[in-house]
Structure 1
C-alpha cells in the first residue's frame, strides 16, 4: 500500500510518530511525499524538497528468528540499487558507469550520490526512509550529488515508487529466508571493488585512510590500513578517494 501526500516535514518522522503513538502499520506500508520540507539523512543532514524526486518511507516489522536489524541497512541498499538498475536497463543513459553501492547503503553514480537511506527503530519496527534523485540533485556542501535526469534517464515518480516497493519486498523475503551470507555477497557484487581507496570519518575520531576490505560476518565495513592492520567500522561517513 502506498499513500501519497502533497507535502510533509519528513516521511520518516511521520511514520515514527504514528508508530510511537500506538498506531499499527503493516509491513510494506509506504508514505511518499511530493515535497518534504524538513527531511533528514544520515548523521542529521537535511534532505528536503526535490519535487519530482522520490522521497518516501516504509517499515519492516521484526519477527522472531529474523537476522539482526542492523543488517537491514544492506537490505535496503540492495533494494534501492535494484530499482535504479531497472531504470538503467529500460532507458538510454549517457552515463559512463553504472550505479554502485557505498557502505552502508548510499547509491553512487560517477562518484556522485544518487540515493540515500535512513533507518530508525521504533519498538519492533524499523522505519526505512529513502531519497532518490530522479529529476534534480540537491546541493550538499562538499559533496557531488547527481540525478537520473543528469544522465538522460526519466521515470515517473509513482512508477518508481511501485518498482521500489516490489524490490524491497523481495529483498526482505531473501533476508528472512536465506540469512545474511547471500545478502552480503550480493551487496559486495553491487558495490565498489575490494581494494578501493576510502576515507572514513568515524564519529568523534580523526579521519582514517585505507582501502575497502569487504564486510564482516555481520555486515560492518572492513577498512585495510596502510600498515596492513584491519579496522572494523560500525558507523561513520565513508568517502571514495579520487
Structure 2
C-alpha cells in the first residue's frame, strides 16, 4: 500500500478531536539537530506497515542514512514477530520504525536491538507518560490495568540489506476498553497515563532510544559493559516465572526464566537442573505456566 502524507485532506475517521494529528514540524525541530542520531522524520497519514516501507526504502538501490524515522498515523497491515497481524484506530497510538546501521557492532550482538528498544520505550514512557512499562521477553511491552498485566505494544526488528536493521514499534496510547483488539490488551490511557499527547511521548521514546543505542554501540555491542543487560533484566517481567517455550520441530522446553545472557537469549532452568539459553529466533510461543 502506498503511504499517504499526513498533510492530505482528512477523512471522517480523522476528525476525532481527542486524537489530534502529530506535529511533524515540531517533531523535526525537537529531534533532528546537529550531532543527533535522527537525520530525518517523516509522518504519513496511512500505510500498510512502516517496517515494510522502511525496509524497502533501505534496500531500494540508493544509500539511506542511518537515523531515518518513519511514523504512521494509521497502519492497515501492521506486523509483529512471526508475521502476526494487529490493527488499531487511526491516531490511537504510536506506530513508527527507525533505520539503524550499527557498523561498529558484531552482527552476533544485533539480537540486542529489540531488547534495547524495549528499555528505551520503557524509559521514555515512564518520563513522558508516568506509566511503568514492563518488558516481556523478547518483544512485548506490558502495562498494568486493573491489577493485571496487559500487552500495550510490541517491537519488531528486521534486517535491511547487509548492514542495516529496521526496528519497528507499536504502542497503544489512547485506546478505550471497547476498542481493544482482545480483552487482554491494554493502552497507556487505561493504565492511567498522565498524558496521552503523542508528540512528547514520541520525542521521549526516540531520545531514550538514541541514548541507549549510543551507549550500546560505543561499547561495541557489549550489553554488560554499557549497563543494558542489567537494566533490561531489572524491567523484564518474564524473569522469575516458569514458562513453556515451543520450539521448531515440535520440541518443548519448560523451565524457570532465570536470566538474559550476554547474547540477549533467555536462559531457562529446567526441572532436570539444566540451564538452557533460548534465542528469540527459536521461539514459536513463550507462554506462562
Work out whether the TM-score is over 0.5: yes
Q: Which residue of 2 aligns with 1:218?
A: 263
**CA displacement at 1:206 relative to structure 2:** 4.3
Return 213-222 or 190-199, whichever deviates more.
190-199
Structure 1 residue aligned with 2:152, among 82, 105, 114?
A: 114
- Helix, strand or coil for the counterpart of 2:170? strand
SS at match of 1:175: helix
User: Which residue among 81, 86, 103 is the counterpart of 1:42?
Assistant: 81
Pair 1:53-2:96 in alignment: no
Distance 2:216 2:94 in 1: 24
Whether the 8 Å CA contact 1:202–1:233 is kept in 2: the answer is no
Question: Which of 243, 247, 269 is matched with 1:202 structurally?
Answer: 247
Q: Quick one: structure 1 residues 58 and 232, their matched pair in 2 at CA, closer, same or farther if it must change by over 3 Å? A: same
TM-score where L is the length of structure 2 = 0.74
Q: What are the within-5 Å matches in structure 2 for residues 44-193 of structure 1?
A: 44-51=83-90, 52-65=92-105, 68-89=109-130, 98-110=132-144, 111-123=149-161, 124-136=163-175, 138-140=180-182, 144-153=184-193, 154-178=195-219, 179-181=222-224, 182-192=227-237
SS at match of 1:189: helix
TM-score by length of 1: 0.87
Q: Structure 1 residue 130: deviation in Å? A: 0.4
Q: How far apart are 1:65 and its partner, in Å?
A: 4.2
SS at 1:50 equivalent: coil
Q: Is the 8 A contact 1:28 1:165 kept in 2?
A: no
Unaligned runs of 5+ in 1: none
CA displacement at 1:11 relative to structure 2:
0.3
- Structure 2: runs of 5 or more not aligned: 1-39
CA deviation digits over 1:156-183, x for unaligned, max 9?
2222221111111111101012321121
How far apart in 1 are the matches of 2:75 and 2:258? 36
Structure 2 contact 97–168 (Cα < 8 Å) conserved: yes
TM-aligned CA deviation for residue 61 of structure 1? 0.9
Cα offsets for 1:13-57 (capped at 9, x unmatched): 000111111233322221110110011000110023332211110
Q: What is the RMSD of the two structures over their aligned residues, measured on CA atoms?
A: 2.0
Name the CA shift for 1:88/1:239 in 2 (closer, same or farther; >3 Å): farther
Q: After TM superposition, give the deviation of residue 74 of structure 1 in Å.
A: 1.6
Give the CA deviation at 1:192: 2.4
> Offset at 1:62?
2.2
How many Å separate the matches in 2 of 1:159 and 1:78? 17
8 Å CA contact 1:199, 1:238 repeated in 2? yes
